Amino acid sequence: MESSSSRHCRRLILWTTVIALLFCKARGIDIFLEWNVSSDPNIRAYMDQPLILINGKITGPLINATTNDIVHVNIFNNLDEPLLMTWNGIQQRLNSWQDGVSGTNCPILPGQNWTYVFQTKDQIGSYFYFPSINFLKAAGGYGPIRVNNRNVILVPFAKPEAEYDLLIGDWSYGGNTKLMAENPLPDLILMNGKAPFNPRGNVFQSFNVTKDYFMVATPTQIDTTAAPDLMGVGLIHYDSSNGLAAGSLPKGPDQLDRDFSINQARSIRWNMSTGAARPNPQGTFNVSNITLSQTFILHASTAEIDGILHYTVNNVSYLTPDTPLKLADHFVNGSGVYQLDSFPTNSINLVASYGTSVVTGNHKGWLEIVFKNDLDVMDAWHLDGFGFYVVGFGDGDWNSALRSTYNLVDPVVRSTVQVYPGGWTAVYAFLDNPGMWSLRSQRLENWYGGQELYIRVFDADPNPAKERPPPSNLLLCGIFKSQAPAPSPQVAW
Ligand SMILES: *[C@@H]1O[C@H](CO)[C@@H](O)[C@H](O)[C@H]1NC(C)=O
Ligand SMILES: *[C@@H]1O[C@H](CO)[C@@H](O)[C@H](O)[C@H]1NC(C)=O
Ligand SMILES: *[C@@H]1O[C@H](CO)[C@@H](O)[C@H](O)[C@H]1NC(C)=O
Ligand SMILES: *[C@@H]1O[C@H](CO)[C@@H](O)[C@H](O)[C@H]1NC(C)=O
Ligand SMILES: *[C@@H]1O[C@H](CO)[C@@H](O)[C@H](O)[C@H]1NC(C)=O
Ligand SMILES: *[C@@H]1O[C@H](CO)[C@@H](O)[C@H](O)[C@H]1NC(C)=O
Ligand SMILES: *[C@@H]1O[C@H](CO)[C@@H](O)[C@H](O)[C@H]1NC(C)=O
Ligand SMILES: *[C@@H]1O[C@H](CO)[C@@H](O)[C@H](O)[C@H]1NC(C)=O
Ligand SMILES: *[C@@H]1O[C@H](CO)[C@@H](O)[C@H](O)[C@H]1NC(C)=O
């Protein structure tokens, strides 16, 4: 889609200098999308929620962007509850205002619409979006994001003939109002929102490709003998193939084989000799020579608070304030909403409590985070705003001597990482992106149950080239509900 602003760019190029040319090139095009988020009351999902659709579909529309494009998504909330959409893996460079989590944005109220505007700056890859508050994600509302490489950036493979997006997730039927901790297995594994392939039925996901294949997704590090059908099954179907895939389904690795799984995770490494989207450090060099500025050791567990089981980080269960942290930070330096660094990042509180944990991340410092999983099922941690380098996995307790086992030479960069039951995972993040960033369990029930904190990366320089001002359509809520601050000066992309 070509926009008025890219025409504007061309005019600029005609009239001004090479600097404008570079600027416009780095900017990409504008992509305008309009989404109607609604629910289908006839289909009930987890916690009795109706299925959530975007423009009438369970896997929402593809956002097909290229590095540095600017995506405008005008979201109409036709649900009967508040909505926020988050863009998982999109780094929102200098712009946590568009991150779409409870700590950064006021929700879009039922019957209202709000336009997110964000840039896919310096990124390439496959990402996804989903509704971030309450339990909405368990009911749908998610979809794929592609960020294609610009032509000038080489990737180490030929241009694919075609591309398909595959989103695999679990599904639990309604009527259950307890947290999954008390009922750990979901009912189904879905592919693109569809139930497992069944040659006799008609609900399944199939892709047109020249020979048919089954694809199977099963849980790992959990015994599902009590639920043998808990597997996602899809069919990859080639146009020219004559008939369906036959025979038995492929057998995956032993579900409880920890070593196999950890070794596989360790074998995924970055190709250090290939091009990358970004000119800056992240993703393009080894981390063997960096100096750590901070270390967080975060134990994920559960604890009872006031007689109710909660998920905790170092024995603190995140309490979501009515006022987004980012707003409180911007207008009143957090006061009345959170107190910076009042919860531990290196020790475990002796008594479990609620807490709105916001911790300092040193701007332009290297942060080491050791995630410890004190529970007996797989966990996954996600950091907004950054790609982190996954340097180590291990069983049992972590201690500083285990740093010698880290892969600092070609660690993969990503934003979500698994943590094995009873084990640990270590990552390094370079905190060059000021903002208020969610660090959380990517398992919905853990997140919802309190396994979250925010990292505040602060740059004292008020130059908007450092961090963007709030958007002109900024929503206010919580303690700012009745105020109407003057719109902030807007800056170009
Ligand atoms: C959104 O979808 C709902 C349910 O399908 C429909 O009733 C409504 O009219 C749609 N709204 C817009 C603005 O398209
Ligand atoms: C996505 O965008 C790329 C780059 O502009 C284009 O080549 C491709 O055809 C688009 N794909 C879809 C499905 O729109
Ligand atoms: C709501 O949608 C209208 C119509 O598309 C649009 O003009 C307006 O900017 C949107 N409001 C917000 C806050 O994004
Ligand atoms: C890494 O990327 C380079 C450059 O694109 C390519 O030649 C090489 O085969 C890749 N290495 C591996 C192990 O894939
Ligand atoms: C696969 O190709 C056939 C024949 O071209 C077409 O009828 C069918 O809709 C395609 N299926 C998908 C999932 O694209
Ligand atoms: C890693 O980077 C450092 C510089 O930061 C360099 O000296 C070293 O040779 C690199 N190691 C490898 C294995 O590439
Ligand atoms: C590695 O770090 C040390 C200490 O910070 C520095 O003196 C040295 O120049 C660095 N080496 C490279 C190759 O960057
Ligand atoms: C904001 O709060 C922090 C502590 O939370 C304090 O160190 C800092 O001085 C405050 N800044 C201003 C401008 O009041
Ligand atoms: C966490 O808090 C609970 C009770 O509030 C306590 O029993 C437990 O020992 C604490 N955990 C640790 C590791 O200290």
At 315-329, the pLDDT tens digits run 999 999 999 999 999
The answer to whether domain 1-185 and domain 263-276+284-468 are alike in fold is: yes
Residue 183's closest CA among 192, 193, 196, 170?
Answer: 170
| Nearest CA, atom 12, ligand 4 | 271
Least confident piece of the model among 219-233, 349-363, 379-393, 440-454: 219-233
Confidence (pLDDT) at 251 = 80
Query: Does the pLDDT of residue 109 top 80, yes or no?
Result: yes
Domain covering 263-276+284-468 in this structure, CATH number? 2.60.40.420
SS3 of residue 348 by DSSP: coil
Q: According to the model, what pLDDT value does residue 492 have?
A: 78
Pocket of ligand 2 (CB under 6 A): 64, 66, 148
Greater pLDDT, 122 or 85? 85
- The residue whose C-alpha atom lies closest to atom 7 belonging to ligand 5 is 239
Report the C-alpha gap between 445 and 311 in whole angstroms: 8
CA nearest to 392, candidates 311, 287, 255, 280? 287
Q: List % helix, strand, coil for the chain (3-state, nearest 5).
A: 15, 35, 55
Average pLDDT rounded to a whole number, residues 465-483: 91
- Distance in Å, CA 380 to ligand 6 centroid: 29
Max Cα distance, the chain (Å): 70
How confident is residue 387, by pLDDT bands cut at 50, 70 and 90?
A: very high
Spacing, Cα 356 to ligand 7 middle (Å) = 38
Q: Tell me, using a 6 A CB cutoff, whether residue 115 lines ligand 3.
A: yes
pLDDT mean over 11-39 = 66
Q: Residue 349, exposed/middle/buried by CB under 10 A (0-12, 13-18, 19+)?
A: middle
Quick one: pLDDT at residue 236? 83
- Residues 140-169 pLDDT 10s: 999 999 999 888 877 777 888 889 999 999
Backbone φ and ψ for 10, nearest 5 degrees, come out as -65, -40
| Homologous superfamily of 1-185 | Cupredoxins -  blue copper proteins (2.60.40.420)
Mean pLDDT across 288-295: 96
Among the bound ligands, name the one nearest to the CA of residue 333: 8
Atom of ligand 7 nearest to the CA of 289: 1
Give me the pLDDT at residue 481, please.
92
How far is Cα 380 from Cα 223, in angstroms, rounded to an integer? 18
pLDDT digits (tens, 9 = 90+) for 41-96: 887 776 677 889 999 998 999 999 999 999 999 999 999 999 999 999 999 999 99
**Cβ–ligand 4 contact at 156 (below 6 Å):** yes
What is the pLDDT at residue 161? 83
Domain boundaries, the chain: 1-185, 196-256, 263-276+284-468
What is the pLDDT confidence band of residue 207, given thresholds at 50, 70 and 90? low
Residue 438: pLDDT above 90?
A: yes
Q: Which of 30, 33, 63, 64 to mutate to test the pocket of ligand 2 (most atoms within 8 A of CB)?
A: 64
Percent of the chain with pLDDT over 90: 63
Tokens 């020979």 belong to 211
Greater confidence (277 vs 125) lies with 125
Higher pLDDT, 71 or 277: 71
At residue 7, the pLDDT reads 41
Q: Which ligand is nearest to the CA of 308?
A: 9
Atom of ligand 4 nearest to the CA of 154: 5
Residue having the nearest C-alpha atom to atom 7 of ligand 2: 148
Q: Is 360 exposed, middle or buried (0-12, 13-18, 19+ CB in 10 A)?
A: middle
Q: Out of 16-30, 120-134, 197-211, give the one with best mean pLDDT.
A: 120-134
In this structure, of 105-114, 171-180, 204-213, 417-426, the range with the lowest mean pLDDT score is 171-180
Is residue 364's pLDDT more than 80?
Answer: yes
- The gap from C-alpha 309 to its chain's centroid, in whole angstroms, comes to 25
Ligand with smallest separation from the Cα of 273: 4
Mutate to test the pocket of ligand 6, among 288, 366, 408, 410 (most ligand atoms within 8 A of CB): 288
Lowest mean pLDDT among 74-78, 212-216, 305-309: 212-216
Residue nearest to atom 6 of ligand 7 (CA): 289
pLDDT for 419 equals: 98
C-beta of 286 in contact with ligand 6 (< 6 A)? yes
Q: Ligand 9, from 297, 316, 343, 349: best to mutate by most atoms within 8 Å of Cβ?
A: 349
| DSSP symbol at 490 | P
Strands (E), 2-83: 30-44, 50-54, 63-66, 70-77
Task: Give the pLDDT confidence of 20-31 residue by residue, as tens digits.
Answer: 334 445 789 999
What mean pLDDT, rounded, does the chain reach?
87
The closest residue, in CA terms, to atom 12 on ligand 3 is: 114
What's the pLDDT score for residue 188? 85
Residue 423 binned pLDDT confidence (cut-offs 50, 70, 90): very high
Distance 71 CA to ligand 3 centre (A): 15
Mind listing the pLDDT tens digit for each residue in 176-192? 444 545 556 788 888 88
- Which amino acid belongs to residue 413? V
